[in-house]
Every structure is written in structure tokens, then in C-alpha cells.
């Protein structure tokens, strides 16, 4: 029983159901693992040990009464951008360092209703703005495959927690690749659902038309189990779509017969040779599993996605982050001579450099005389990108691309070069612009570092995306490899 922390959701659920282990034992195993590796990887901002053990006891009572669902009694960690009642929610920012929400996000409500055990909150780039988890106001998170490298971002803490078995699964958020890119860097599975598939109520807003909550897990089966729990319509979120939630586990079929997959060539421009070679090998495996592959797909507007994204996302961030004025909650500068100075200094000292950079970019793009030239034009490009995906999905069931153009880069390597940092998400952010689902799954190693394969689906095509990811996973063993920590 020393290896309980290594279990997947489906394995742990079976053992809990059979009474072979208890939720308290499983939770204690995760807490021991946290104590063992956390000082090496710094994945967590808050660990809530006492509350977690109380939740585990409640879960055991429910299980003994015959009430058990797939996530009942399973220990999870939550990205520190989702509101948790009674547990601080910092967004890894000095601005919210001591903020404790009075309510739970909808996804947390859903997990608590099923007696999931919440161990604590994971580190991230401040307000989800970054690709390396180096923009946290508290500390950077290290990649367990090489402690001198980044884990990706902004959900770096969530990906590392799964890779190191600190938690059985985690939740992340994805605005431009923030679930998939760290999943690729850390050799775990990360799914960004269709926009509107999972409620954003209680998710601290970065860019409201792009943000989406999703699971980070050890394998594709677990991803399907978490999605089945967190997906669904929520009246408290005006962008939530009232579609019925399928049983995603029924899509987990190990062959790909009758599926047509497109390979967009634009996603291979400028990527690391080893990443490219791994992906080509992975695509050939998909072909062996029965898929029909078209290597000559073109999505020409992809090259404009990065520029459009870095107008749209900062513009929305500029509007969303205006609420942090030091009056109602969060950090407040106390030594000002007047109200205007207090508001200015609150933002000056409360936000980090990257957040301030994006606020300024967004405010400029929305300002008088520049709105039409930048923001409006970016919205038109967004429409073209969405239409291009729609046209591709008339011919193909899914598209396959790299998750990131490189494997994990060194800590500090891109901190002073924002453009190079932004390019880390060049393969993932078109998906957010179009509002469609995509998954990253382990697909090999480059010089000892994990690389990911991204499968992109049509709107509400999570079942197809999970089907393809599962078939590939069953035919390979990349997901079984663990970091040497």
C-alpha cells in the first residue's frame, strides 16, 4: 500500500468500491507524497491537510453507505484560479495573496457533491498570464523531468502535481494553451474542452471569451471520468451551453477505423526536429490503428493567430483586471495621499511585470483611435480562423498537431524575451480563438524531455478527441513513464 499515490482515478475507484482501501488511506498517501517532493518542484501554493482528511472521512462514510461515483474519495489539487470557499484563492498574485472567497466555483461544487477530496491549490503564472509558471508572485515551479527546466504554463503546478503523483488528478484552466502545453512538457494528459462546455462561474477571469476549465490526468480514461463530472450547463454562467453531457468513457475505443485525420502543415513551421520526428512517428501509429491520414492540410490563417490572440486576450484582461482597485478586496496600498494615488499604487505593487505588460497592451488596443486598427481587426481574424477550422471539419474528424514547438526550455531562458515566450503557445492558442476542444497526450521524448501530441476536435467533439487519444495511448507506453523524482 506504499504506492497508493501512483494509482489512477479508475484504479483507485475500483479499490475503494471493493473496500480494499479507504479514502483516508489514499489521501494520506498523497499528503506523504506532497511532503516528499514538494520542496523540489514547488507545485503548490496552498496545502489543506486537515480539511482534506475531514473530506476523506466523509467520503468513506458515503462509500460505506453505498454512495460512490468515480471521483468519490479521490484526492485532487485545483489550480489556484478557481474560487474555493474557506480556502484562499491567490491566482499566484500579490494582489490576491490573502483573498479567501465566500463561495465555490461551479466545478468545485460539482466535485464536493461527489465527495472528492481537495488537497489544496496549485501554483500558476500570475492571473494565468504566462507559459512557464515563472510569473508566479511566490516562486517558480520546476519540471520534474529536469529541475532546471520549466513545467510550462500557466497551469504548470497542476501538470507537475499529476506527473509527480502529488494528486491523482488536477483541474487547470486554458486561455491559450495553459492546460495542454504544461501537460505536454510534463508527460501527462490535458484536455481543453469546447468553450461553454464547462462552467466558468468562479473562475477568476483573464480573457472571458477564451478561458476554459479542464482536467489534467495520468491517462485518457481518467480525463473522460473528470470531464463527465465537471461538464454541463450552468445558469450562473451566461456562456455555458445547455447541451446534454454524454458518458465520455463510452468513446474510449482502441481502434480508429473509419476516422479521417488531417495534419495541418502550418503547425510544423519552426518546430524542434526531435518534436517533429516524434509527432511523425505518432501519426504513423494512428494510421496503423486504422485512421485515414491526410498529410497535406492547410490552415493559412494560423500564422495570424498569435498576433490576433495578443490583441484579444490582453484587451479582455485590461477590462477584467480593472476591478482590482484596492477598495473591495485584495491588496490595497495604504500610504497614499488621495484615492487616485491609492488606486495607482495598488496596481503598481499588486501586479507583476507580465500582468502589467498585458494590461498596457490591452488598454492601448482598446483606446480611442486604435480600436478599429487593432481590436476590431483581431476579431475579424478570429472569425476567419474559426471558419477555417469549420471547413477542415467538413472533411476530417479531427486534426493532429504538435502540442508545443519545443520540449521544455530552461528556467530563465525566455523570461526577458516576451515574444519567444509567447511563441511557446503557437500550436495551442488557435484552438482557444476558435473555441473548440483539444487534448495533449504523451507522444515520446526529445533528449530525455517529454513531448506531446495535440488532437483538435470540432465543437463539442470531445468524444472523438478522447477516442483518438485513448486508441493512441493504448498502443504506446509513453504515459506510463514517470519522472526520476
**With bands split at pLDDT 50, 70 and 90, how would you rate the model's confidence at 368?**
confident
* CB-count exposure of residue 337 (10 Å: 0-12, 13-18, 19+): exposed
User: pLDDT per residue over 4-44, tens digit each?
Assistant: 999 999 999 999 999 999 999 999 999 999 999 999 999 99
Contact predicate 70/95, CB 8 Å: no
Known active-site residue 178: yes
Known active-site residue 154: yes
**Would you kindly state where each structural domain of the chain is located, as residue ranges?**
1-485
Of the residues 79, 121, 414, 458, only one is catalytic, namely 79
**With bands split at pLDDT 50, 70 and 90, how would you rate the model's confidence at 358?**
very high
Which percentage of the chain shows pLDDT scores above 90?
94
CATH class belonging to 1-485: alpha beta
- Count of alpha carbons within 13 Å of 263, Cβ hemisphere only? 20
User: Is the predicted pLDDT of residue 92 greater than 80, yes or no?
Assistant: yes
The helix-helix angle for 220-230 and 106-113 (nearest 10°) equals 110
Map grid coordinates 482515478 to a residue.
Answer: 9
Classify the C-alpha dihedral 26-28-32-33 as positive or negative: positive
User: pLDDT per residue over 215-273, tens digit each?
Assistant: 999 999 999 999 999 999 999 999 999 999 999 999 999 999 999 999 999 999 989 99
Whole-model pTM: value is 0.97
Q: Please state the φ and ψ torsions of residue 87, each to the nearest 5 degrees.
A: -125, 130
Known active-site residue 94: no
Q: Give the least confident one: 57-66, 233-242, 361-370.
A: 361-370
pLDDT of residue 289: 98
- Distance between CA atoms of residues 89 and 202, nearest Å: 10
Of the residues 30, 93, 178, 199, only one is catalytic, namely 178
pLDDT of residue 419: 86
pLDDT of residue 1: 54
Nearest to 378 by CA among 263, 210, 240, 197: 210
Helix residue ranges, H only, 435-483 = 462-474
* CB-count exposure of residue 285 (10 Å: 0-12, 13-18, 19+): middle
**With bands split at pLDDT 50, 70 and 90, how would you rate the model's confidence at 427?**
very high
User: pLDDT per residue over 440-456, tens digit each?
Assistant: 999 999 999 999 999 99
Of the residues 154, 199, 424, 440, only one is catalytic, namely 154
- Distance between CA atoms of residues 402 and 393, nearest Å: 18
pLDDT of residue 418: 87
- Distance between CA atoms of residues 212 and 187, nearest Å: 21
**With bands split at pLDDT 50, 70 and 90, how would you rate the model's confidence at 2?**
low
Amino acid at each position: 500500500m506504499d504506492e497508493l499515490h501512483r494509482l489512477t482515478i479508475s484504479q483507485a475507484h475500483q479499490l475503494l468500491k471493493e473496500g480494499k482501501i479507504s479514502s483516508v488511506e489514499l489521501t494520506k498517501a498523497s499528503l506523504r507524497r506532497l511532503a516528499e517532493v514538494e520542496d523540489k518542484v514547488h507545485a503548490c501554493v496552498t496545502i489543506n491537510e486537515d480539511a482534506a482528511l475531514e473530506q476523506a472521512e466523509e467520503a468513506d462514510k458515503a462509500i460505506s453507505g453505498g454512495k460512490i461515483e468515480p471521483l468519490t474519495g479521490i484526492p485532487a489539487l485545483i489550480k489556484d484560479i478557481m474560487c474555493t470557499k474557506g480556502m484562499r484563492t491567490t491566482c499566484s498574485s500579490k494582489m490576491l495573496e490573502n483573498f479567501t472567497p465566500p463561495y465555490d466555483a461551479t466545478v468545485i461544487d460539482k466535485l464536493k457533491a461527489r465527495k472528492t477530496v481537495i488537497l489544496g491549490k496549485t501554483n500558476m503564472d500570475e492571473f494565468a498570464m504566462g507559459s512557464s509558471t515563472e510569473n508566479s508572485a511566490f516562486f517558480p515551479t520546476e519540471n520534474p523531468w529536469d529541475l532546471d527546466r520549466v513545467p510550462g504554463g500557466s497551469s504548470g503546478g497542476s501538470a507537475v502535481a499529476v506527473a509527480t503523483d502529488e494528486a491523482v488528478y488536477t483541474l487547470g484552466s486554458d486561455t491559450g494553451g495553459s492546460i495542454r502545453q504544461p501537460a505536454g512538457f510534463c508527460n501527462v494528459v490535458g484536455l481543453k474542452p469546447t468553450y461553454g462546455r464547462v462552467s466558468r462561474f468562479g473562475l477568476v477571469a483573464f480573457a472571458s471569451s477564451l478561458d476554459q476549465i479542464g482536467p489534467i490526468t495520468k491517462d485518457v480514461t481518467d480525463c473522460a471520468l473528470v470531464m463527465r463530472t465537471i461538464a454541463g450547463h450552468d445558469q450562473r454562467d451566461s456562456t455555458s451551453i445547455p447541451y446534454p453531457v454524454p458518458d465520455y468513457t463510452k468513446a474510449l475505443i482502441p481502434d480508429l477505423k473509419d476516422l479521417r485525420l488531417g495534419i495541418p502543415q502550418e503547425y510544423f513551421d519552426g518546430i524542434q526536429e526531435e518534436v517533429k520526428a516524434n509527432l511523425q512517428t505518432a501519426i504513423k501509429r494512428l494510421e496503423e490503428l486504422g485512421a485515414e491520414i491526410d498529410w497535406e492540410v492547410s490552415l493559412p490563417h494560423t500564422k495570424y493567430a498569435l498576433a490576433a490572440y495578443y490583441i484579444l486576450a490582453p484587451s479582455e484582461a485590461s477590462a477584467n483586471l480593472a476591478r482590482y482597485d484596492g477598495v473591495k478586496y485584495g491588496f490595497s496600498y495604504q500610504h497614499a495621499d488621495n484615492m487616485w494615488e491609492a488606486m495607482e499604487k495598488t496596481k503598481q505593487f499588486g501586479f507583476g511585470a507580465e500582468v502589467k505588460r498585458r494590461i498596457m497592451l490591452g488598454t492601448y488596443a482598446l483606446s480611442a483611435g486604435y480600436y478599429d486598427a487593432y481590436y476590431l481587426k483581431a476579431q475579424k481574424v478570429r472569425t476567419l480562423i474559426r471558419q477555417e477550422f469549420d471547413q477542415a471539419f467538413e472533411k476530417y474528424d479531427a486534426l493532429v498537431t504538435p502540442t508545443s514547438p519545443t520540449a521544455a526550455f530552461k528556467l530563465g531562458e525566455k523570461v526577458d524575451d516576451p515574444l519567444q515566450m509567447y511563441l511557446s503557445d503557437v500550436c495551442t492558442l488557435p484552438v482557444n480563438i476558435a473555441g473548440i476542444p483539444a487534448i495533449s497526450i504523451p507522444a515520446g521524448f526529445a533528449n530525455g524531455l517529454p513531448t506531446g501530441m495535440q488532437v483538435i476536435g470540432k465543437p463539442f467533439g470531445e468524444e472523438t478527441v478522447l477516442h483518438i487519444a485513448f486508441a493512441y495511448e493504448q498502443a504506446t507506453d509513453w504515459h506510463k513513464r514517470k519522472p526520476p523524482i
